[in-house]
Amino acid sequence: MNKIINTIQQNNTFNLYMHVSPDGDTIGSALALHASLLSMGKNSTLICDDTPAKHYEFLYEKYSIVAPEKAQTAPVSIAIDCADFKRMGRSRLQFEKSPTTINIDHHFSNPSYATYNYVEGHASSTGEIIHELLKQLVITINLEIATYLYTAISTDTGSFSYSNTTPKCHLLACEFIELGIDVARLSSQLMNSRSLGKTRLLSLAISKLELFFDDKIGLIYIEQSDLAALGVRPEDCESIVDYIRDIDTVEIAIFIREMNNNKYKISMRSKLYADVGSIAQVYGGGGHVRAAGCPIAGDFNEIKADLISSAERLLHE
């Protein structure tokens, strides 16, 4: 932490990187650090492979997020909520050009790939770590920064409902609410806002649900042709896996999305006891005990059978 603080204090220009298919944690955390660096009179550029999903747009109206190819090389690059290089996508090439790199994250599986790494696996979210960093940089948390950090923490804890929710999450929420964030508006925009296309995708996804082992394992597979037929984007698949997990009999939820050339993106969730992170790690992916993911290449039917049998083993552990 001290080395990261010194690096921030001694430099003037920073590139901040979010992960591919950006979620509320990577976006909120990056925006909080971005706004803080600007308030310190420094230059900062927000970089991401993908445009965030529409319901996050209201958060970064005053800033722009650029593709890695359009960014200039900065003396310092900071990866935010990127569990590994794969999570950074094409941005990795730009990230690695910086002489000094920083990695701020909360995934236990993070291999500490940067010059300076601040990885706290016990933190609920990267937003919680950014809050600590800003405190140490003696940045005043204003309403704007509070809004970003609340977004990061509330989205990564499923509105303070997942097992990673700690007293600290609530204490921070308390601090942000005291600063005047609009909880009702934020919740409605972040959690309860869904486009018509995404709603139709959800309907299709649920019609494709398959259940295994006394309905304890649920699986949905979405093909590229499904997305094309509905005119929706890959990131619109973001929360489908949660609908599988929410079925009362399900312990393990598996969502498979076809990418291209026999490549598949797997997202997994568990409800109470199964460690889906252990499955993701076998395939070189990452995540947490209750939420994990990985890309897998190969024959679809083999991948599906492997995932189901790995998941079944977890049911008996």
Q: Show the tokens assigned to 303.
A: 């991948």
Smaller CB separation from Mn ion, 216 or 265: 265
Closest approach of Mn ion to the CB of residue 152, in Å: 7
- In whole angstroms, give the CA distance from residue 122 to residue 99: 29
Alpha-helical runs (H) found in the chain: 2-10, 24-39, 85-88, 91-95, 126-136, 143-156, 167-178, 183-190, 196-207, 224-230, 240-245, 276-282, 300-315
Q: Which residue is nearest to Mn ion (CB)?
A: 25
> Radius of gyration over alpha carbons of the chain, in Å?
19
Question: Smallest Cα–Cα separation from 248: which of 220, 277, 271, 274?
Answer: 271
Smaller CB separation from Mn ion, 156 or 258: 156
Closest approach of Mn ion to the CB of residue 24, in Å: 8
Closest approach of Mn ion to the CB of residue 169, in Å: 13
Smaller CB separation from Mn ion, 218 or 277: 277
Q: Within 10 A of 274 (CB to CB), how many other CB atoms are there?
A: 25
Closest approach of Mn ion to the CB of residue 312, in Å: 28
Closest approach of Mn ion to the CB of residue 121, in Å: 11
Smaller CB separation from Mn ion, 35 or 123: 123
Sign of CA dihedral 132, 135, 139, 141: positive
Smaller CB separation from Mn ion, 49 or 156: 156
Q: Within 10 A of 236 (CB to CB), how many other CB atoms are there?
A: 22
Closest approach of Mn ion to the CB of residue 157, in Å: 10
Q: Which residues pair with 116 in a beta bridge?
A: 102
φ/ψ of residue 180, rounded to 5 = 105, 15
Residues that bind Mn ion (CB under 5 A): 25, 81, 126, 156
Smaller CB separation from Mn ion, 68 or 293: 293
Number of residues that this document lists for the chain: 317
Closest approach of Mn ion to the CB of residue 156, in Å: 5
- In whole angstroms, give the CA distance from residue 307 to residue 280: 9
